[in-house]
Amino acid sequence: MSDKKKRILTGDRPTGNLHLGHYVGSLANRVKLQKEYDSFIIIADVQALTTHWEKEENLTENIYTIALDYLAAGVDPEISTIFIQSMIPELCELTMYFSLFTSVNVLRHNPTIKSEASQHGFKDMTYGFLGYPVSQTADIAIFKAHLVPVGEDQIPHLELARKIVRRFNDLYKPVLIEPDTLVGDVPRLVGLDGKAKMSKSLNNAIFLTDNPEILKSKIRSAVTDPARIRKNDPGHPEVCTISQYQKVFNAAEIDEIHANCRQGSIGCTDCKNNLFNRINILLEPMRERRNKYANNMPLVTEILYEGTKKARAVAQDTMHEVREAMQINYFNQ
């Protein structure tokens, strides 16, 4: 790690395998940015518990699942720091200090909190769920991240994070960094059913772990233009799921595909085969990397252990400054 590099913080809740939506929305960017930035990647297991607190038995498996997904996607543990949130107790301490001056009403009116609460059917929000943006702010601030890559739905959280950090710096001492937001320009990937976003819970996702046979059958099942009955019927790529994937995974050929589709000179089966090849070429090196790590799980444990140790040392340094700024240092240690 070079101290001169700016730091970015990214991460996920460990709730299962990552899919192509995660890859194009954030993972690909993380792999790209890791050389330019000092990259910290948090496996947010405590935040996973804010919505799945009764499913603690899946956590360990999910942490390893997501770590393998990162490594398979090309996150390089030599230059990126992958760590586990719950193993850094200083995060709880900073969350508590931030919560002292964060208004409950601000959290209640956060549009992402509102939509997630309704998605999970929470009529009575728990203290932990309502406060997870505060915990997220602690994740960012404790590592002094300069930049946080986010999807559109996370923008309200980042705005709040910036406000909390600013308030802390104004109230006590300017020891924390106000993070900048990096919003990705890749559109959200639709699901194979074409109706919603790609999501494990909606059962419409292509996972990074899918083998070629599964990948082929999923692509074959994807919704296309319902008006195309025969192979030479003129198509409408704007209503076709495959066309949306082609745009992302086969940008070089997209104009030609659209023209051929509209003229009825390419069949949907050929178009799907073409897409299969594109995505398979993307996933093949990931499968190889995954196999390498999956066959050496002690190495994965070591990567997580060392990453967490390094992250904790950074967190401890920051908390030293935070306590000093707040004059919480009664024994001069």
Which spans of this chain sit near ligand SF4 (rule: CB under 6 A)? Answer: 224-225, 228, 235, 237, 240, 242-243, 257, 261, 266, 268, 271-272
Residue 57 or 255 having the CB closest to ligand SF4: 255
Kindly tell me which of 8 and 240 has the beta carbon lying closer to ligand SF4. 240
Kindly give, in sequence order, each residue whose CB lies less than 8 Å from that of residue 205, ignoring residues fewer than 6 positions away: 19, 20, 21, 191, 192, 198, 199
Rg (CA), the chain: 22
> For residue 182, what is the DSSP state?
E
Measured from the CB atom, is 160 or 268 closer to ligand SF4?
268
Q: Please give the full DSSP string across 139-180, using - where no structure is assigned.
A: HHHHTT-SEEEE-GGGHHHHHHHHHHHHHHHHHT-S-SPPPE
Least Å from the CB of residue 226 to ligand SF4: 9
Determine the Cα–Cα distance for residues 72 and 54; give it in Å rounded to an integer.
29
C-beta closer to ligand SF4: residue 9 or 257? 257
Shortest Å, Cβ 277 to ligand SF4: 14
Q: Shortest distance, CB of residue 224 to ligand SF4, whole angstroms?
A: 4
Residue 168 to residue 227: CA distance in whole angstroms:
58
Q: How far is the CB of 280 from ligand SF4 (least distance, A)?
A: 17
3-state SS, 196-257, equals: CECCCCCCCCCECCCCHHHHHHHHHHCCCCCCCCCCCCCCCHHHCHHHHHHHHHCHHHHHHH
Beta bridge partners of 12: 43
CB of 88 to ligand SF4, least distance (A): 47
Looking at the Cβ atoms of 115 and 232, the one nearer to ligand SF4 is 232
Q: Provide the minimum distance between the beta carbon of 246 and ligand SF4 in the complex, in angstroms, as a whole number.
A: 7
Residue with Cβ nearer ligand SF4 (268 or 279): 268
CA nearest to 134, candidates 172, 107, 116, 109: 107
